[in-house]
Amino acid sequence: MHNLPVSIRLNPAKASRPFEGSPIPWSPHGLLLEQRPIFTLDPLFHAGCYYVQDSSAMFVGHVFRQILEKCRRPGLRVLDLCAAPGGKSTDLAASLRESIGNDYLLVSNEVMQQRARILGDNLAIWGDPCVMLTSADAAVIGRNEGYFDIIVVDAPCSGEGMFRKDEKAVHDFSQQTVQLCAARQKRILADVWPSLKEGGWLIYSTCTYQQAENDDNLQWASEELGGEILPCSNEFAEYGVQLSSCGYLLKAGESLGEGQWVGALQKTAPAKQCKQLQLKALRYGVHKGEIKGGKLVPDSDYALSLAYENEYPAIEVSREQALGFLHHDALRFDDAPLGYNVITYLGHPLGFVNNLGRRCNNLHPVQRRILMDIK
């Protein structure tokens, strides 16, 4: 469980390079670090300047960028079906923004409500206003026929690729689990399939090595649902990336990170098309705040958004002060204007305070406060 590889993916829209590291060949913003910092005690982590993500998991983003080159256009609609905790969604969002600009929709969905809350926090910190957060079953999403251009399904699996870092995955693994997961994955793919438009792309991934959950399921989707599997070419063989019959396989100890499998297919089956997405959004767009007592109280996440317009005075703070803000310590800024100010660290917004003079009210969400000792 010790000395496992650790990697981060930078947020290109919040230009900052907090750590030195080796480039990850398949991720333009990925870095493999020599040692694991205490990310919780880095204010830039809380500012959304980077996301901590396994390098093998970033390979899904590589396949996504390959497909994005084939269907890039303004107004592209993408679904990340099983999105928590947010690594793949933030990767997709960064790639979409760099490729298309500000004209796309990424629906980041997580059916489990507790995991959806974690996903929502990570998306808010990343700050992309073109990402919609939803919490719906695959079958409900499937009713939106022909709506999406690209769907990413990082399916729940038997977890064999996580054995090095997750003892529970080792304990829970069995061939019965593999068969149960394979059957559930088929149901998920079949349920969401109607929402993919004809000619659209499905990217399917797991963190297991089991053929029944990987190649067999993508082959099943191709034959039963109607699609052509994306041919694979291995330009990363020297980094431990292997080709399977229908996709790419990265094994822990042989690649740069943990275990991951990913493949893709293009939908050939005919599909109806709806123009209006019929899903309840838990979070979407830019929420600047709400009127209370005749005054606009800024939304705590507005400062983190890429759409933030710098309309509030900024208080640039030291690392110690930034951690104090994130820890919800008592703060006082005698030289700052009274009223709402945005706290910044190295120029990156962290959130708002209401400066009352002798003290400040902290608007940083309570559920995101640092709990560990910051000294």
DSSP code for 212: T
Cα separations (Å) of 203 from 50, 156, 292?
A: 24, 14, 45
* Residue among 24, 39, 44, 57 at smallest CA distance from 127: 44
Of 207, 232, 246, 274, which residue is the catalytic one?
207
CB 247 within 8 A of CB 261: yes
DSSP code for 336: S
Longest Cα pair distance anywhere in the chain, in angstroms? 68
d(CA 241, CA 247): 10
Active site residue 207: yes
Phi-psi region of 35 (alpha: psi -120 to 50; beta: other; left: phi over 0): beta
d(CA 249, CA 240): 9
Cα separations (Å) of 112 from 57, 84, 119, 153, 155?
A: 21, 9, 10, 15, 13
CB 82 within 8 A of CB 47: no
3-state secondary structure of 337: coil
d(CA 307, CA 291): 20
3-state secondary structure of 163: coil
d(CA 310, CA 45): 20
Residues with active-site annotation: 207
